[in-house]
Structure 1
């Protein structure tokens, strides 16, 4: 018998339990934390830029060429592409769930390399960017000038130059997108002046490329050299041009009479934004935003903490007037969800211990199943680590449900030992434990197998649904198996050590325990409460027995009632609305707006300001931060007539009542936006599963 080994060697049982607990503690430190399991399939994005090309041109010359190379990739499900009139293309390659994102990125990179030689020269010069990331934002950091002295182009250039690359190097970051563009040298050609000197734009482009370049000028006194050479020096030539004045003096043409035509003669040169596609605002001030995307499998909370720490550190060196705010922070809701489930878990543990004490009415007997709880829970966390799971609401929910089941096995052991000692007072705790385990070992294993058979099939579901059910199923099965292991290994050793044989005094009365001698009043109080509970419980058992007899006597009537309940259940099951996961108040909202085709950015910007004014004037107490952008940018909607916004609501404690939850706020906003002329404005809440 397995349990006999640990009954005789209780220290060995404790060592095994401690090893299981240490494994669980180590797993806690290494497990990522998320709201839900990683349901979204891995994605790899390919980005290219063709300056000056329209959507049809980039579709024919770039998008189709790259798409034709995406064949023969392992695990590829499908790919989608978006070619914009701004000269950019994004191809999203989606892989089957379970595909290694790193391998997928390498395979896409290798396939794309084959098509580079067939792309236009301008695209090759810009390069193709291949990255793996989740298709949803972890954070959106909004930076704005509260003095309104800077433009959104100034702020976006600061983000690109100072924050984007360092943020991309933080562990856990998959990608980052800036809503805006950095500075560039803008050269505005005058066609009349070009025609006057018989030049075309390609002549200007060629002259700029030839004269704005890095030149390796060599060195003086390099080897081989004569012995009389006394100096060795590296020759430094003029590097790339930096200022508008330097660009203005680029020579475009030399006339036959020796006169030169310079760039400033045919163009206006200034330092401006690389593009003016986006106009963004933060809290009704000029600003820009940077969207941070999580790498597949990364810890959302840990990554967000690193990003926030870096932003806080860099904010100390911001130019005067610049402030930052988080327009979209998904980790706030993750923290709240995990905290609530952990609170429920702790409450469940406390309630289980109280119930055990009420029924067992012995602190020694209660302690045995109570010790099993942390051992099994920590062991289950170790199984999470081995299975590659995360600490999320579903796995914690499975642990909450498992608490009531995992103590059953230990209670069965304690109850049976106490029964044997009650029937035979001469029996020692050790002998009673040995006899008890002989009787119930098979039953304990059978119970675990039956319960596991209920949950185990869910572990083999496929697709995104299978990912959710699999983690819940494995949590329950792991807890059940560990519960039986503890009941066979640790609980017998504890019963042998903790339970005491009942002794009687000279009058045949049970001897008082240490607690009864030291705290007589408290002991009497507990004894009276226990007697009262037992009396009430016995009366309840008698009433239940009578009710069962009545049901058996009228079995056909109650079978008919049961059939009616089953039929009602089937009707309700078919009529209730269905959904993947319930929508919750995540403390954020999304706004998407669009004007008719052909509308200019100026009209879209006016609509953008109207939307901002509504939120801050009508929902000011519920809005903490709002970031809006018209004209696209950041990987979002593209076109002068489109825009989007991200609203961070006030903390949940400051938004009491149903009228202030996310659904109510977005519902009121949608109703108000219906009155906007020629505009389609949608106010939405984020989906339950991000990505």
Structure 2
């Protein structure tokens, strides 16, 4: 039965079927979502809880740990990390990649509800959670600047108007606003003035709270009309608060301006954003999982004119970073690479056929196969990304093979004298099984990848499926459209004279064939030498695999850099402003940098601490800067190191990320222990060792346990004698130094706050604490804190200032006794406005201060205390070298058994992928063997075909080493592809040889000899087609080429060496295994004969 016959005899129907596939593919191409990489969403949920004023250690003990105990019981949690900082806890749960994120969210909510009974009773709100993707990178960054408006007004416009509208755009997942804070009324109190009037801080807070109200008031009915009651009960601006009466002294009103300054300012004065050195508010736009990035960016840009018109014209909105530029450029370059690959393949086919009509047949086969693949990709929900287009580029060399084999065989029969129809039917029937064998065995290579789990499996599943789809469509086209076109287009060679180019190329091919004929005979006469060469390739495979530098994925050059600033742990905000400004100036001064944006402090993005910050840099296009991103970072490293007291860790923004805790560098190593003390002792030791290693750069740790602390030691007896509670002490300090929100202002579009603290000059030196006084108000003011609270911070210009010297013990006791004896003053009633002087007790009378150290953050991982060491790689150093360096350092230090270490994030995935590499290759070999064994119904012939693979492995790894390219997962996919490519040569030889033995009774030696010569032309054509299809990938021109190069290098190197060796090793192995088969058959026959003779006797 000839499956191609109906299609050959119905050319119109076959043509329309092919056109239908092409039209469907073209429509799907324009509907496919565009993304830099396949949509890989790691199910991750972040839980957040706040306990204002609590220290990191208290947050870790009372908030994070109870939540972790309940959250850790959820199924499929692969990693749980937490960070406890001042007043807040953040717990990140990462689930197995196959876990449904919505089901995981329900489990998280249930765990939060169950943990509520174990959490502090004064936790103002329940913990909240949100879903996010750790691999998500910023897509757009806008900056807002103005020469006339304040930072508060810029931030208000960004968060209230712009961010809200941008969040509604299709494809936008999140809009974060940083570098500023919402407008607020700030009340900056003067402690000496408060003491002068005998007014306590809690009294001022009560007055401010009572002076601002916004409650329903009802209405009155007058006849047929109703009047709604309104009042000027809400104070909205600083001018409304300035005349506020906070107390009466001697019958005279004491107004707020008498004891402090009232300003229209911001909620958090300790934030700063910069754009190219100019104060700015930063808006960062992220995408939704699976969204079309190009469409999202175009929608956002299309909306911006309308948004600009909705805010003040004094606001300049600038696009500081656009990730879609490099995505567009990269996809454009991949598309060009695909077209170049198709053109090179067509040239290879034409060079061998030297006939335009014959060349048109594989051209149509390639076009239909590739274009129709887009239709299936759309149905499967895939994206148009670098990997899918790279898969189609590689598939170009595959899909043409089937058409070449069919075309070459039909042309050979026509040259032998058959008619076009007869040659088409006979030729297609002869090679139909060969084509099927090549395609099925090639598809079998990708089965292990399709079944591979984890992030790497999900990442390459789309790549493998895209190639598989193209191969299946090519198989169908080669048995339908290709024979039909051969029957219509091919012409017999009537002996007409050929051109000069034809004659020269034919002479070249005849010389190649004659040379191969002579060397093949030599190889068959010296089979042991050939087997020795084959044995050497097997050894070299093992040896080269053990010594080749290994990596995870090539470092992407997206044209965007991100940097984390880590300053000394006790750095004040005032000093941090200077550091950020200096870093921005240095980065912007580099000739390769187009825009530099940075921010520090709170405000919605970034780490939020006063000693940390974030910098984004957008590089100029590649044709303008010439240097790749890693070289730009290397050039910036030296000038950035000149900033004393702070470090900026730069890295290139990539599209692939993992791990619940972000670090200051691309790779992380996490230490876990049971006690803080042990971990705090050994982490700095390991960091010190690693910082001396030349194979690592930017080594740092997230361990922050050396911040300065002004520790309040309360004399409880004295405080009790004076009627002062610990809660009063905490609230007084929080009022003074905590930027306390004491009232809320409601307006139509947003809500703002009234912030109270002492004037800045009283919070910049610990010595000013002696000017803080406590009123004996009885603690009746609302909104008190729990104890064990961090009441605020002071910024010191000199860390050597002494607080313990504020009041000597003797003086303190004398003052306490004096105050207690006189009974001067009246205790506050807790009302909003007091009418008599309070009893004002200096803080030094009931407490003393000591210097100490406190952590700025407490980190946990899997319920254990943890610290993460981050590092980058210098140019030319592989990740495998770095991991070995760290493991050796761990062993050399001899850490106690209570501390364990392991790689995290990308480094962890690299180790998992490295452990699976050998398994994947072996699984591919096993799958091919099984599929070929089933097709040939033989245990022997699949071994002959698999004997072609060692040379391909050696060529691939050697090419990677010669080009100084790491053997990463991209290179590994290249090796697996080679497994499917190079065995085609053996399949074409063996099919012909087996047919010659069966049909014409040739000996195995004569059959394989003739097969090698007869299949030399299609072997050369298919191999060179695949080789030239990989050339554009190997050259690696344009944006994103670093991801494509390892694949092209591996395929190119593997094909060159395998093409040279397999032309000789395959026939020799075939003969040896055929002898083994015959020997086995003779033994079986002899055994059966002996049994028959035994039964006869």
TM-score (norm 2): 0.55
| Cα gap change, 1:131 to 1:19, in 2 (>3 Å) | same
Distance 1:252 1:635, change over 3 A: same
Residue 516 (structure 1) aligns with? none
Partner of residue 449, structure 1: 440
Matched, 1:648 2:618: yes
Which of 258, 271, 277 matches 2:264?
271
User: Is residue 2:481 matched to residue 1:490?
Assistant: yes
Decide whether the 8 Å contact of 2:157 with 2:311 is kept in 1. no
2:471 aligned to which of 465, 480, 495: 480
Counterpart among 562, 570, 591 of residue 598 in structure 1: 570
**Offset, 1:93:** 2.6
1:573-609 alpha-carbon deviations (Å, 9 max, x no partner): 3223211111133212233332222121222222222
> How far apart are residue 316 of structure 1 and its match?
5.6
Alpha-carbon spacing, 1:558–1:503, altered in 2? closer, same or farther (3 Å): closer
Work out the CA distance in 1 between the residues paired with 2:102 and 2:172.
14
Contact 2:349–2:359 (Cα < 8 Å) also in 1: yes
- 1:202: Cα distance to partner? 5.9
CA distance in 2, matches of 1:625, 1:556: 65
The answer (yes or no) to whether the contact 2:242–2:256 under 8 Å persists in 1 is yes
Residue equivalent to 1:622? 592
RMSD: 3.5
After the TM superposition, which of the residue ranges 370-379 and 107-116 deviates more from structure 2? Answer: 107-116
Given the superposition, is the C-alpha separation of residues 503 and 188 from structure 1 closer, same or farther in structure 2, using an over 3 Å criterion?
A: closer
Aligned twin of 1:82: 83
- What's 1:32 paired with? 33
Tell me: CA distance 1:407–1:337, structure 2 relative to 1, closer, same or farther (3 Å): same
Which residues in structure 2 correspond to 1:144-223 (within 5 Å)? 144-145=144-145, 147=147, 152-179=151-178, 180-189=180-189, 212-221=212-221
Match runs of 1:380-391 below 5 Å = 380-391=373-384
Compute the displacement of 1:388 (Å).
3.1
Q: Hey, what's the Cα distance between the residues in 1 that align with 2:304 and 2:104?
A: 31
Deviation of 1:61 after TM superposition, in Å, equals 4.8
**Does 397-406 or 333-342 show the bigger shift?**
333-342
Alpha-carbon deviations, 1:235-274, whole Å to 9, x = none? 445575422233456677899x999877666654332211
1:611 corresponds to: 583
Q: Which residue of 1 aligns with 2:720?
A: none
1:137 is matched with 137
| Corresponding position of 2:424 | 433
TM superposition shift of 1:542 = 0.4
Secondary structure of 1:89's match? strand
Deviation for aligned residue 1:111 = 4.7
1:286–1:397 CA distance, 2 compared to 1 (3 A): same
> Residue 380 of structure 1: CA displacement?
2.0
1:673 aligned onto 2:664: no
Q: Note the C-alpha offset of 1:437.
A: 3.2
1:543 is displaced (CA, Å) by 1.0
Alignment equivalent of 2:236, drawn from 242, 257, 261: 242
Matched, 1:299 2:292: yes
Measured in 1, the distance between the counterparts of 2:129 and 2:210 equals 26
Shift of 1:282: 0.6
Q: Distance in 1 between matches of 2:255 and 2:77?
A: 53
Q: Partners of 1:123 and 1:9 in 2: how far apart?
A: 78
CA offset digits 1:309-348 (Å, max 9, x no partner) = 3345534666456444444433333222212211110011
For the residues of structure 2 that align with 1:117 and 1:218, how far apart are their CA atoms?
Answer: 39
SS in 1 for 2:568: coil
Contact 2:446 2:464 in 1 (8 A): yes
Quick one: distance in 2 between partners of 1:135 and 1:398? 22
Q: Decide whether aligned partners of structure 1 residues 244 and 355 sit closer, same or farther in structure 2, where only a CA change above 3 A counts.
A: same
Q: Deviations over 1:606-650 (max 9, x none)?
A: 222222332344x2x211000122336543233222222111111
Partner of 1:629, secondary structure, is strand
Quick one: structure 1 residues 450 and 276, their matched pair in 2 at CA, closer, same or farther if it must change by over 3 Å?
A: same
Rounded to whole Å, the distance in 1 between the matches of 2:501 and 2:340 is 23
- Find the aligned partners of 1:336 and 1:157 in 2 and give their Cα distance: 35
Mapping of 1:175-574 within 5 angstroms?
Answer: 175-179=174-178, 180-189=180-189, 212-221=212-221, 229-236=223-230, 240-248=234-242, 268-311=261-304, 313-315=306-308, 319=312, 322-425=315-418, 427=419, 429-500=420-491, 502=492, 527-574=499-546
Q: 1:65 to 1:274 in 2, by over 3 A?
A: farther
1:287 shift after superposition? 0.9
Gaps of 5+ in 2: 659-1097
Q: Is the 8 A contact 1:143 1:155 kept in 2?
A: no
Q: Is the 8 A contact 2:43 2:133 kept in 1?
A: yes
Deviation at 1:532, TM superposition (A): 1.9
Q: 1:93 is matched with which residue?
A: 93
**Per-residue Cα deviation, 1:382-431 (whole angstroms, up to 9, x for no partner):** 33233333222222122111111111212222223333333234x3x334
In 2, the alpha carbon distance for the partners of 1:80 and 1:250 equals: 48
Distance 1:687 1:5, change over 3 A: same
Distance of aligned partners of 1:171 and 1:651 in 2 relative to their CA distance in 1, 3 Å threshold: same
Whole-angstrom distance in 1 between the partners of 2:559 and 2:306: 26
Separation of aligned partners in 1, 2:129 and 2:204:
28
From the CA coordinates, give the structure whose radius of gyration is larger.
2
Relative to structure 1, the CA distance from residue 633 to residue 235 in structure 2 (aligned partners, 3 Å threshold; closer, same or farther) is closer
TM-score (norm 1): 0.84
Rate the CA distance shift 1:409–1:239 in 2: closer, same or farther, 3 A: farther
Shift of 1:217: 3.2
**Structure 1 stretches lacking a partner, 5+ long:** 222-227, 511-523
What residue in structure 2 maps to residue 683 of structure 1?
650
- Alpha carbons of 1:40 and 1:285: their partners in 2 closer, same or farther (altered >3 Å)? same
Q: How many residues align?
A: 656
Q: Secondary structure at the match of 2:263?
A: strand
SS of equivalent to 1:141? strand
Distance 2:262 2:115 in 1: 36
Question: Secondary structure at 1:2's aligned position in 2?
Answer: coil
Deviations 1:199-250 (A, max 9, x none): 76666656655664443333444xxxxxx94224544455754222334566
- Provide the rounded CA distance (Å) in 1 between the counterparts of 2:160 and 2:220: 36
Q: Deviations over 1:531-561 (max 9, x none)?
A: 2211211111101221223333444445444
Cα 1:610–1:199 change in 2 (3 A) is closer
C-alpha deviation, 1:480, in angstroms: 1.3
Q: State the match for 1:515 in structure 2.
A: none
Deviates more, 1:632-641 or 1:118-127: 118-127
> What is the match of residue 1011 of structure 2?
none
Partner of 2:71 in structure 1? 70
- Answer whether contact 2:588 2:595 (CA < 8 A) is retained: no
Q: Residue 41 of structure 2 contacts residue 289 of structure 2 at CA under 8 Å; is this kept in 1?
A: no
Distance 2:364 2:101 in 1: 41
For 1:86-141, what per-residue CA distance to the aligned partner results, in whole angstroms no more than 9, with x for missing partners? x3433323222133444544554565466668767886469846343455432352
Residue-by-residue CA offset, 1:349-395 (whole Å, 9 max, x unaligned): 11222222222233322222211222211232233233333222222
2:121, 2:257 → 1: CA distance?
A: 27
Residue deviations 1:654-687, cap 9 Å, x none?
012xxx3322221122123333333333333334
The superposition leaves residues 58-90 of structure 1 with CA deviations (integer Å, 9 ceiling, x where unpaired) of 4445444544553665543333222322x3433
Match of 1:587 in 2: 559
